[in-house]
């Protein structure tokens, strides 16, 4: 662990020495200036703005642009048609590529495409289902006779698909619950609050993730963000957080060795959950929460600390690797790139410090220039980096235990 003080994206990086980019001995004459500050051993290496994404680097988790298999034009993860040649397209989740959607060759469209006009995922033989791997995780869908519910459902399913892809690439492909008593599978319930009834609360319990349909409404979600004092609030974040709870329930609970390591870093989850949340909502987070937690809510209870931290690991993996897949390189014109290493699986600390933070700082600066809020208003102190490392190691170990059909 490097001797960082606190990594602050929104307001610069606090450290003990300035970045050596403009006068860097490893990249002389690059022509860029930089007022970022780096601590510890990072002070004597080339600024990560130059080294963020080596040329030719290939990522295991990336959400890259795709190519139309017929004409080669760039297409995207959600496309159902090629804008160039008009080919009907679908996504093959297990092969992680786009294909022409056709009944030929054993490929079938997810039934939600024909029934409801959304979902571009394809099924491969011998999948004995009318629904794709992602859609069949949804156990309860909304009442589509109500205005706006189809559009809201589409938004929820689109966000869920991205998290499912991440889990597949982690080697932890989720499978739907076979029954209500199935202790291992994962199911989603998309519910609406009803008049004269308790509001639907987004959350996870025993492998079932409940999401309030109102979260798909931008106005509702922004009001909730302001009311709860949250820096960001979006659908993908909800899914990552709740899936993080599921990962702990599925892969850590019951594994005493894993739980001992988890408790050593996040605290004892056996502390009364309801009392802890009540105290948090009454008194707020501790004054020093920014030195120990990724978010204020993470301080409420060890379960929430795990979920917020794990969700952040998923965010960093997705964001960094998507940037790399798109060829984003923050560097000067004279900089040289390090060669890629086949099969390289970087530690999360490396991803955060040397690759994600420069990109996040760039995104914040661009958003400010457009008059928008910082998209990444987070601090990552040393203790949070340690927690993120623990999450990554535990998920890697879980993936070695995974057998298809065992979820």
Give me the pLDDT at residue 90, please.
Answer: 93
pLDDT band at 370 (very low <50, low <70, confident <90, very high): very high
Cα–Cα distances in Å, from 112 out to 119, 121, 152, 160, 259? Answer: 6, 9, 14, 14, 39
The confidence score (pLDDT) of residue 150 equals 95
Of 24-28, 275-279, 361-365, highest mean pLDDT: 275-279
Q: Would the pLDDT of 111 be above 70?
A: yes
Break the chain into its structural domains and give their ranges: 64-133
> Residue 176, Cα to own-chain centre: how many angstroms?
20
Counting other chains too, the contacts that 87-93 makes at CB distance below 8 Å and 24 or more residues apart are 89/120, 90/120, 90/121, 90/122, 91/120, 91/121, 91/122, 92/121, 92/122, 92/124, 93/121, 93/132, 93/133, 93/134, 93/164, 93/165, 93/168
Q: What is the pLDDT of residue 406?
A: 52
**Which pairing describes strands 379-381 and 6-8: parallel, antiparallel, or unpaired?**
antiparallel
pLDDT of residue 31: 31
Q: Taking residues 309-317, report their average pLDDT.
A: 95
CA separation for the pair 329, 320 (Å, rounded): 11
pLDDT of res. 338: 43
Across residues 339-358, what is the average pLDDT? 67
Q: Has residue 225 got a pLDDT over 90? A: yes
Q: Is residue 263 very low, low, confident or very high in pLDDT (cuts 50, 70, 90)?
A: very high
d(CA 92, CA 133): 10
| Alpha carbons 361 and 48: distance in angstroms, whole number | 11
Q: When comparing pLDDT for 152 and 338, which is higher? A: 152
Q: Which residue has the higher pLDDT, 322 or 371?
A: 371
pLDDT tens digits for range 157-210: 999 999 999 999 899 999 999 988 898 999 999 999 888 888 899 999 999 999
Read off the tokens for 330: 């923050």
**pLDDT value at residue 402:** 64
Burial class for 219, CB neighbours closer than 10 Å (0-12, 13-18, 19+): exposed
The strand pairing partners of 38, in sequence order, are 17
The model's confidence at residue 14, banded by pLDDT at 50, 70 and 90, is very low
Question: Best-predicted range by mean pLDDT among 56-60, 152-156, 336-340?
Answer: 152-156
Structure tokens at 387: 């927690």
CA-to-CA separations, 255 to 181, 202, 328, 389, in angstroms, rounded: 20, 26, 40, 19
What pLDDT score was predicted for residue 261? 95
pLDDT at 63 over 80: no
pLDDT of residue 366: 93
Our CA dihedral for 277, 279, 285, 288, rounded to 10 degrees, sits at: -120
The dihedrals phi and psi of 8, each to the nearest 5 degrees, come to: -120, 115
If you write DSSP's letter for every residue of 207-260 in order, what string do you get?
Answer: TEEEEEGGGGSHHHHHHHHHHTT-S---HHHHHHHHHHHHHIIIIITT-HHHHH
Q: Average pLDDT of 364-375?
A: 95
pLDDT-wise least confident of 18-32, 44-58, 128-142, 379-393? 18-32
Q: How far apart are CA 291 and CA 37, in angstroms?
A: 18
Mean pLDDT to the nearest integer, 16-24 = 32
211 vs 356, residue with greater confidence: 211
Helix and strand totals (H; E) in the chain:
11, 14
Residue 56 has pLDDT above 60, yes or no: no
Dihedral sign, CA of 384, 387, 393, 397?
Answer: negative
Pair of tokens at residue 110: 């997810």
Residue range 52-66: average pLDDT?
Answer: 49
């Amino acid at each position: 662990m490097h001797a960082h003080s606190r990594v602050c994206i929104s307001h610069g990086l606090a450290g003990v020495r300035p970045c050596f980019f403009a006068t860097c001995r490893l990249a002389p004459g690059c022509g860029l200036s930089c007022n970022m500050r780096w601590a510890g051993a990072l002070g004597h290496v080339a600024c990560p703005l130059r080294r963020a994404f080596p040329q030719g680097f290939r990522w295991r988790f990336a959400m890259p642009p795709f190519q139309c298999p017929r004409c080669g034009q760039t297409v995207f993860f959600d496309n159902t048609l090629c804008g160039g040649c008009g080919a009907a397209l679908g996504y093959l989740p297990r092969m992680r590529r786009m294909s022409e959607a056709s009944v030929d060759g054993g490929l079938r469209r997810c039934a939600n495409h024909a029934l409801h006009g959304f979902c571009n995922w394809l099924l491969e033989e011998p999948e004995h289902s009318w629904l794709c791997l992602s859609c069949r995780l949804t156990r309860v869908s909304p009442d589509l006779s109500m205005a706006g519910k189809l559009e809201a459902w589409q938004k929820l399913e689109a966000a869920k698909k991205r998290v499912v892809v991440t889990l597949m690439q982690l080697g932890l492909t989720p499978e739907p619950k076979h029954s209500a008593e199935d202790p291992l599978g994962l199911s989603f319930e998309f519910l609406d609050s009803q008049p004269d009834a308790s509001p639907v609360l987004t959350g996870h319990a025993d492998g079932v993730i409940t999401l309030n349909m109102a979260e798909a409404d931008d106005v509702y979600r922004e009001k909730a963000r302001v009311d709860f004092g949250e820096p960001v609030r979006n659908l993908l974040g909800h899914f990552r957080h709740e899936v993080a709870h599921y990962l702990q329930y599925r892969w850590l609970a019951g594994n005493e060795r894993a739980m001992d390591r988890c408790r050593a870093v996040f605290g004892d989850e056996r502390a009364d959950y309801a009392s802890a949340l009540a105290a948090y909502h009454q008194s707020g987070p501790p004054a020093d929460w920014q030195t120990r937690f990724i978010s204020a809510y993470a301080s409420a209870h060890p379960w929430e600390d795990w979920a917020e931290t794990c969700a952040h690991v998923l965010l960093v993996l997705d964001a960094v690797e998507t940037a790399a897949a798109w060829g984003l390189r923050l560097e000067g014109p004279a900089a040289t790139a390090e060669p890629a290493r086949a099969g390289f699986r970087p530690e999360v600390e490396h991803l955060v410090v040397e690759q994600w933070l420069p990109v996040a700082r760039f995104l914040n600066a661009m958003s400010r220039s457009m008059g928008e809020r910082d998209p990444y208003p987070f601090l990552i102190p040393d203790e949070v980096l340690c927690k993120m490392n623990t999450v990554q190691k535990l998920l890697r170990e879980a993936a070695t235990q995974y057998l298809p059909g065992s979820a």
